[in-house]
Structures are given as structure tokens and as C-alpha cells.
Amino acid sequence: MAARPPETSTFARAVRAVAASIAAHPLICAPLLGALAACGFQPLAWWPATLLGIGGLIALVARSRHGSRAALIGWLWGLGHFTLGDNWIATAFTFQAKMSASLGWVAVVLLSTYLAVYPALAAWWGWLLARGSRAKLAIVPGMAASWIVSEWLRSWVFTGFAWNPLAMAALGPFTHPGLAAIAPWLGTYALSGLLVLLAGCWWAAGARGRLDAWTVALLGVPVALLLQPGHFGAPAPLSPLAYTLVQPNISQPTLDDPQFFEDHFLKTADLSGSATPGLRRLVLWPESGVPDYLRDGYPYSYYRAMTFAADPALARARLGRVVGPGGLLLTGTVDLDFRGDEVADARNVVTALDEHGTLLGGYAKAHLVPYGEYLPAREWLQPLGLARLVPGDIDFLAGPGPRTLDLGPWGRAGIQICYEIIFSGQVVDRTHRPDFIFNPTNDGWFGSWGPPQHLAQARLRAIEEGLPVLRATVSGISAVIDADGIVRSFIPRSQASRLDGRIPSAHQPTLFARWGNALPLAWAGVVLALTIALSLARCLWLPDGVRAARRRT
């Protein structure tokens, strides 16, 4: 019998060298692979890095002899992944005086030690599903199904922190949605699971150890899918409703300083400008857009503390003059709850006012930012010197959840304030579907990585819900996103400007809009069934590298 010729291709040698290095130092390579995967997120958007980082994680988990080892590798991977991806949190510590700015990176690492639990769960569950299988390839769908569930858990356990799902790496540039165009049929978390499957293709290609037709296919299919534009039709039509979206570019250090409140108001009002006489338009201001208290009934001392309005009626009247005839203002502000003359709670709200300064409704933020808008376990942490990252000692109170404001001739607005837009399946009142989502935000304390990541997650909400999203930010990036996730217009960071136009039309309710996160969980069940089928199969192809590793174990 003729001996098989050795495989000496450059591809095979390179793959084996990389695999050997990773296998020799798994606990060192795991966090590096996690950080590599985070490079697929904005602002870098290097999606091949995400596939390589996930593929490396699959390789390490597949080689693990025990579930505890797989979980440890997943945790270390997550530590590197979230430390790099959430580095913007460190910047938030530079905008307050009660805690040292040096604690910023400590906070990033501490948060990452918790968030890394979810990749650890995915790795452990994936390992368990593939354990004892004839086909070690079963670990790929096993990891994908587990990843869907773990990201879903991360979105609500302990109030949730859904920032940077893997699905963000599937987004194309502003001009097209890329592979994320299929989010209406999957949901964000199932789209993350699909990326794990695609990364598994690259792992399988490397595990084959030779460059042949199957290897080329395994390498090429993920590339073809992630490079396609994802949108081939005409742009979504525009609705008749006009908007003026304002980005005042107010610096974070002065935003909450009362001595600058009047200057901020005049700057924002001047940018809002005048509209064509008789034009019905929405004027959209960001979170923290109005420092004045607009509701009646507070003790006089609280109104007097504002730079301009010792009378809330005066504050409302001048806002009405800014929007002009036919205009309606949606702006971020703060409402207070009192017990006697003492403030009991504050609410981060969006308020709607017409040209006469009449309050037409409001929405209170439901998903509050831990350590930003409230201090968890305040009675324990405050004595230790910990404080909120934004000024004030009064914790904000959460609102009841997604709500649609019926603004009459100005349409139906779904409101999501700042951070709320990141929670897939939790942004729309499904019984009263809005015409668009308004997302006022202040990204000024998010550093340079936070704003593009925040915008990317708003694009995912637009795609999966089939609704346009209008983002008004204090200092950038403000944008108008259509229902296909295409950014129609935007204002870059650190630029004072405004956008004018007509609001893009909504699509009919998508599959995700009807089912919510039951849809990605159903997909997790489908992929789990595939895992079980692979585990029970008698004769399946095994990559050479995996077969050798199995013999060693």
C-alpha cells in the first residue's frame, strides 16, 4: 500500500503552527482571542477578527477534557472580549469628581469578570452537548445554540447588560445592512448564533489541515455571506411627516453645570431654526435637551435653581415659540417626585410640547444605567466612597416599559432613551406599534468607542423591528436610520448641526416584531436539535486534527 504523501502546503503548515501555539498556551490565548473577537465591533468593524476569535474559542473548547476546563476557557475569553469591547466605560469616570478617574479601568475589568460568565456558560453547555459524540463537529451547533441562550440571559439577568451582542459584527457600513438584513427572521441573538456557526466553518477548515475544495468552501461561505450588501431593493419610501433633528454638541463637563444652562438652551434653540410657514414638523432634541423643570407643582426653590425659568409655564411657552406654528417638540428632560418638600425620586423622561407650550404626553426611561442613573445597593456602596457617574445623589426611578405616544397628526412615536435601545425585543409596545422610534441620548461620556457601538445597536433595532429610528444626541453620533438599517443621514461626533427631512416609512410588522425573543429562542431549539442529530449520527466526517486530539484523550 502506497504511503500517503505528506501535506506540505503553506496553508497546512501555517494552520498547524497557529493551532499548536494556541493548544500549548490555552489560558493565555483565550483572553487574546476574546479581545480579537471584539475588534469586529464598531468603530473597527473588522468582522474577520470576530470569526477568528470565535473559531479559536471553539478550538480550545473542543480540546478541553473536562467541562470545568471549557467553562474556564470561555470565561477567560469573555474577560478579554468585554474588557476591550467595553473600554468606553473607563472614560465615564473622567467626568465626575467623587471617585478617582483611575478607577475607570478597574470598573471595566470588574464588569468584564461578571459578563464573562455568559461566554463561560456557552462554552460549558457547548462542550456538554458535544461530549461523547461521534462527531466532534457537533460542538459547533452546540456552541451556537448555547450562545443564543447565553446572550438572551445577559439581556435581562440582574436587569441586563446587552451591550455588544456578537450580531453587531454582521452589520454592513452605513449604506447597507450586510448580513444583519436577515435579523427580522432571526432576531439579534439568533444572528449572533449564526456568526458562531460561520466561525465554526473556519475552525473546521483549519482542522482539516489541507487546502482542498471542501476547505475552500468552508473558508469562502462565511466571507460571501458577510460581504453581501443584504439590501437590493429601492430605499424605503418617506412618510409625509417632516423632522428637524438637533445635535448641539455640548461638552460633557458643562452639560450639568447650571451656569451654562441658558447658553445651552440658546444654542439648541438657534440650531432648531424656523420652519417653512405652515409646515407640520417634529423637532427632536437629545437627552438632557432641556434643563428647566417643565411640570407644575414643585416647590418654588427648585424652579428658582434653573437659570431661566422660575415659572414652568414660562419655560414651556418659550419652547413653544422655538418650534413655531405647526411644530411639536420631543425633548429629554427630568421630572421629580416629592414627599412633602423633599425630592423622593427623579425620572429621566421625554416630554412632548406643541407650539403653545402645552404638554401632550411623556415617557419615563425604564432601563436605567447602573452606577449612572442609580447606585445599586446604595446603603452598602456609598459608605465605601462609591457614587453615581453622573451628578446628583438622588437615584432615578424606572418607568413602566415600552410605550407609544400618540401625537395625533405628528404620528405615533415609540420612545427609547439612550441605553434602552440596546435591548433587543424590549423597545416597542407590540400592542400599539409606533410609526418610528425616537432615541434621544447623551453619548458624551461614552468615549470614542461607545458612540459608534451605540449607533450600531440602534441599527439592529431598526432592522429587526422594521421601524425607522431617529437618534438625537448631545455631541454625536446623531442619525436617521430607515427600517432596513440604512443610515440616511447623520451628524458626526463633536459637531453642532441639524438634520432636516421626512421620516422614513415603517415596514409591515416583521416576524421578530410579532414574536419578539421567542423567535431567537425557537432558533436555538432548532440548532440544538441539529446538535443532537449530529451527536447521534453513526458515520460522520471528522477533521484530522480533531480525530488526532480524540485519540490522545
**pLDDT one digit per residue (tens) for the chain, 553 residues:** 444 444 557 766 777 777 777 777 889 999 999 999 999 999 999 999 999 999 999 999 999 999 999 999 999 999 999 999 999 988 877 766 555 667 788 889 999 999 999 999 999 999 999 886 766 788 999 999 999 999 999 999 988 999 999 999 999 999 999 999 999 999 999 999 999 999 999 999 988 777 788 888 889 999 999 998 988 777 889 999 999 999 999 988 888 888 888 899 999 999 998 767 778 899 999 998 998 899 998 988 888 776 666 789 999 999 999 999 999 999 999 999 888 888 888 899 999 999 999 999 999 999 887 766 765 555 555 545 555 555 566 778 889 999 999 999 999 999 999 999 999 999 999 999 999 999 999 998 888 999 999 999 999 999 999 999 999 999 989 999 999 999 999 999 999 999 999 999 999 999 999 999 999 999 999 999 988 888 776 444 445 554 455 455 4
Q: What are the cell numbers at 90?
A: 473607563
pLDDT value of position 488: 97
pLDDT value of position 533: 85
Candidate list 136, 201, 287, 373, residue with the active-site label? 287
CB atoms near residue 238 (< 10 Å)? 15
Candidate list 29, 418, 420, 464, residue with the active-site label? 418
The rounded distance, in Å, linking the Cα atoms of 528 and 523 is: 8
Residue 136 appears among annotated catalytic residues? no
pLDDT value of position 522: 98
Q: How far is CA 320 from CA 27, 218, 296, in A?
A: 61, 60, 16
344-389 pLDDT, tens digit each? 888 999 999 999 999 999 999 998 877 667 655 555 555 455 555 5
Q: Are 433 and 509 in contact (CB under 8 A)?
A: yes
- Read off the amino acid at residue 119: P
Q: Are 483 and 236 in contact (CB under 8 A)?
A: yes
The rounded distance, in Å, linking the Cα atoms of 402 and 393 is: 26
For residue 532, how far is the Cα from the chain centroid? 32
User: Beta partners for 374?
Assistant: 370
Q: What are the cell numbers at 306?
A: 434653573
Residue 365 appears among annotated catalytic residues? yes
How are strands ordered across the β-sheet holding 238-247?
359-364, 342-354, 327-339, 281-284, 238-247, 497-504
Residue 418 appears among annotated catalytic residues? yes
Candidate list 29, 39, 365, 373, residue with the active-site label? 365
**pTM for the full predicted model:** 0.91
Closest CA to 212 of 361, 39, 7: 7
Q: Which domains does the chain have, with CATH numbers?
A: 25-232+515-552 (no CATH), 243-502 (3.60.110.10)
